[in-house]
Amino acid sequence: MLDDRKSAILRAVVQQYIETAQPVGSSHIVDSTGIGVSSATVRNEMTVLEREGYLAQPHTSAGRVPTEKGYRFFVDELGDPGDLGPAQIRQVSQFFSHATGELEETLRSASGLLARMTATTAVVVGEPTEVHDIRSVQMVELSRTSVLVVAVTSTGTIFKRSIEPEAPLDVEQLARAQASVAEALIGSRTVSLATPTPTGDAVIDQVVEAAVGAVVGAAGDNGHSVYVEGASHIAAAFEASATLREVLQILEQQLTVVSILHDVVDRGLTVAIGSETGVALLAECSVVVAPLNISGQHAGTIGVLGPTRMNYRDTLAAVSAVSSRLSKMLTEG
Amino acid sequence: MLDDRKSAILRAVVQQYIETAQPVGSSHIVDSTGIGVSSATVRNEMTVLEREGYLAQPHTSAGRVPTEKGYRFFVDELGDPGDLGPAQIRQVSQFFSHATGELEETLRSASGLLARMTATTAVVVGEPTEVHDIRSVQMVELSRTSVLVVAVTSTGTIFKRSIEPEAPLDVEQLARAQASVAEALIGSRTVSLATPTPTGDAVIDQVVEAAVGAVVGAAGDNGHSVYVEGASHIAAAFEASATLREVLQILEQQLTVVSILHDVVDRGLTVAIGSETGVALLAECSVVVAPLNISGQHAGTIGVLGPTRMNYRDTLAAVSAVSSRLSKMLTEG
DNA sequence: GCTGGCACTCGCGTACACTGAGTGCCAATC
DNA sequence: GATTGGCACTCAGTGTACGCGAGTGCCAGC
């Protein structure tokens, strides 16, 4: 679509704009790249690039700035994700050598790692699998009127929710109820389909049903775990406090964050630029994502939210490195 | 210390500055309050207030702005915390009618409530009590090499941590170990002092010790739970994105947040203004806090972080209302 | 097709005058 | 003696003018 020279010029504009945040003029391009033509030629090419929608001018007599289409071309063209710098390699391997076993804590700290590596805001979403391999169920009396139901899955995730039996249970009743709940849930891979077998005791059956319902409920809505780290980094990217406020608001709405990442992944993208995120308020932001897999199954999404003029090459490298190493670690337990 | 008229003028300056964020001049004071003297008199009083450190001038020929000392006087003087508005009363009672049982979730959502009510950033810290009434212990094999130890306390809090026994345990060994851990922890009110009684089986004793250590560790550092909500609100308060970034960074450091709230509470304050927070970067911020009690015992701190020119009266009302109702609810279970 | 050259555009910084809000001070007044 | 009206003064902010410089578009010539 674009000949070699045009694409070289476009690439140069994007790169310089990412570095300096200033509109870049034709002579800068000549200076910074060994393009071997005069600035007038570059200007001619730039008007074409502008006409075709890759570049824009903030005003006449200013340099050019990439449009979303320009960034898109740039990102599509830089095929390989690039390599990590030595400092980042150290960060990653240090992190994974110290990583502990539990899913939530791992996801949270991985989010922190990514935020530090990329100096942007990192977002990690843990997918709610319908398939929970529940290993253990326990019912604990918290007070006379409430019982906490705790279920532990094979990944170390815990579902807990309290229920309030109509009448207090004695120790033996509680044990029988717990056994019945455990029988219903353990091994039933699709938790929501679990059905307890009646014990014949109406009081206990009622409690058992409530407890199973509690676990199913907790497994259902506890589903998407969202971890946002490094929100302060995005503050450095924007001057206007109004823009910043909007972005922070988005980050606070976990549902929105989840749906943005899902949308992007569903469309098969790795990078969503500006309006491609599907959120009008993120017009000046881009999202870079990678899937997390556990044993080949989609288990979540890891990504980064930064300004459209972020360093895509390095960010892509960091996101893909962390996602693959994290997937590997989670798969191996 | 200040006569009636001076304190009335100071109060008026603070109030107007909170509303408008503009330096306030003598004639505005005459207009907005029924003070009954001329602007010249007000000016004379204001020079005195400035000399004594309650007010400051951004530059000659500008109005006056309160200093920290000025805010401090203002806050000390407005004795009663004020009342909630009708909308806020509705928010509070709606919240507490729907509140569920578990501590963490309650604290988190209370933080959200306070953020919405005050339109500032809310912070809730749950205190790590050394005294945990552990009700139940469970050990679940996650993989061949790792076992998750789960302990449930009487408040519904869960401590979990995985351990890695040197050799895989069979079901029976796991059960014996679990029984031994449970015996050591349940009823021992100061978890860190718990010592398991040897079973005579070296393999099991080793696992038991590791498991007890894991729970003690989890109980120890899982201690301070920190919930920050409404960070976007603070973005509206500051124009400069650099200031904003600093404040957000502070909010991301949970340890710092905890120590700020502790410091303030320890000094017996309810409001900490600017440098009173003890953090240089929060020079333009104030913190309003209230303790949380469960059964009369200190169980945490709830508070708000806003700009120094926040609405202290309404914020104090909201913080104290939420803290007292929350304490009541937590006490009643 | 490329390029040097040139006219043109327009943001930005500086200089300057003007306005208006606000102050400090003082002499007159109550 | 406290209060006040009056007045000179200060200074941020605004508008205007202007030159500079970075950048463009276009064109004739190579």
Tens of pLDDT, residue by residue over A1-31, are 788 899 999 999 999 999 999 999 999 999 8
Beta-carbon separation of B160 and A155 below 8 A: no
Nearest nt by C1' to A40 Cα? C3
Neighbours of A197 (CB within 10 A): 10
- Residue A330 — pLDDT band, cuts 50, 70, 90? confident
**Contact (Cβ atoms closer than 8 angstroms) between residue A10 and residue A49:** yes
DSSP string for residues in B147-164: EEEEEEETTS-EEEEEE-
Stretch A80-89: mean pLDDT: 85
**Contact (Cβ atoms closer than 8 angstroms) between residue B11 and residue B64:** no
Distances (CA, A) of A53 to A89, A93, B144: 38, 42, 58
Q: Is B23's CB less than 7 Å from nucleic acid strand C?
A: yes
Q: Is the pLDDT of residue A296 over 70?
A: yes
Tokens of A194: 């679990």
Of A289 and B187, more confident: A289
How much is the pLDDT for B282?
96
Closest by CA position to B104, among listed B74, B89, B119, B124: B124
Nearest chain A Cα to B146, which residue?
A101
How much is the pLDDT for A104?
81
Tokens of B141: 């094999």
How much is the pLDDT for A223?
60
Q: Is B63's CB less than 7 Å from nucleic acid strand C?
A: yes
How much is the pLDDT for B121?
97
Q: Is the pLDDT of residue A307 over 70?
A: yes
Q: Could you give the residue ranges of the DSSP H alpha helices within chain B?
A: 4-20, 26-32, 39-51, 68-77, 86-98, 103-118, 171-185, 202-221, 231-237, 241-252, 254-266, 312-332
Beta-carbon separation of B156 and A141 below 8 A: no
How much is the pLDDT for A221?
66
The low-confidence residues of chain B, meaning pLDDT below 50, are none
Give me chain A's average pLDDT, please.
89
How much is the pLDDT for B191?
67
Restricting to B residues 66-105, those with a Cβ less than 8 Å away from any Cβ of A are 100-102
Residue from A137, A139, A245 to probe the interface with B (highest B Cβ count within 10 Å): A245
Predicted TM-score (pTM) of the model is 0.84
Residue from A134, A185, A244 to probe the interface with B (highest B Cβ count within 10 Å): A244
How much is the pLDDT for A53?
93
Q: A207-251, pLDDT tens digit by residue?
A: 999 999 888 888 776 568 899 999 999 998 888 888 899 999 999
Distance CA A68, CA A65 (A): 10
**Contact (Cβ atoms closer than 8 angstroms) between residue A78 and residue A271:** no
Q: Is A34's CB less than 7 Å from nucleic acid strand C?
A: no
- Residue A93 — pLDDT band, cuts 50, 70, 90? very high
Q: Which residues of B touch A154 (CB under 8 A)?
A: 142-143
Restricting to A residues 162-191, those with a Cβ less than 8 Å away from any Cβ of B are 162
Q: How far does the CA of residue A222 sit from the closest CA of chain B (Å)?
A: 11
Q: Which residues of B touch A239 (CB under 8 A)?
A: 241
DSSP-derived 3-state class of residue A95: helix
CA of B63 to C1' of C18 (A): 21
3-state secondary structure B274-330: HHHHCCHHHCCEEEEEEEEEECCEEEEEEEEEEECCCCHHHHHHHHHHHHHHHHHHH
Q: Is B60's CB less than 7 Å from nucleic acid strand C?
A: yes
Q: Is B46's CB less than 7 Å from nucleic acid strand C?
A: yes
CA of B56 to C1' of D6 (A): 26
Nearest nt by C1' to A61 Cα? D23
| Amino acid residing at A235 | A
Residues in chain B: 333
- Residue A302 — pLDDT band, cuts 50, 70, 90? very high
CA dihedral angle for residue A140, residue A141, residue A143, residue A147, rounded to 10 degrees: 80
Confirm or reject contact between B239 and chain A (CB < 8 A).
Answer: yes
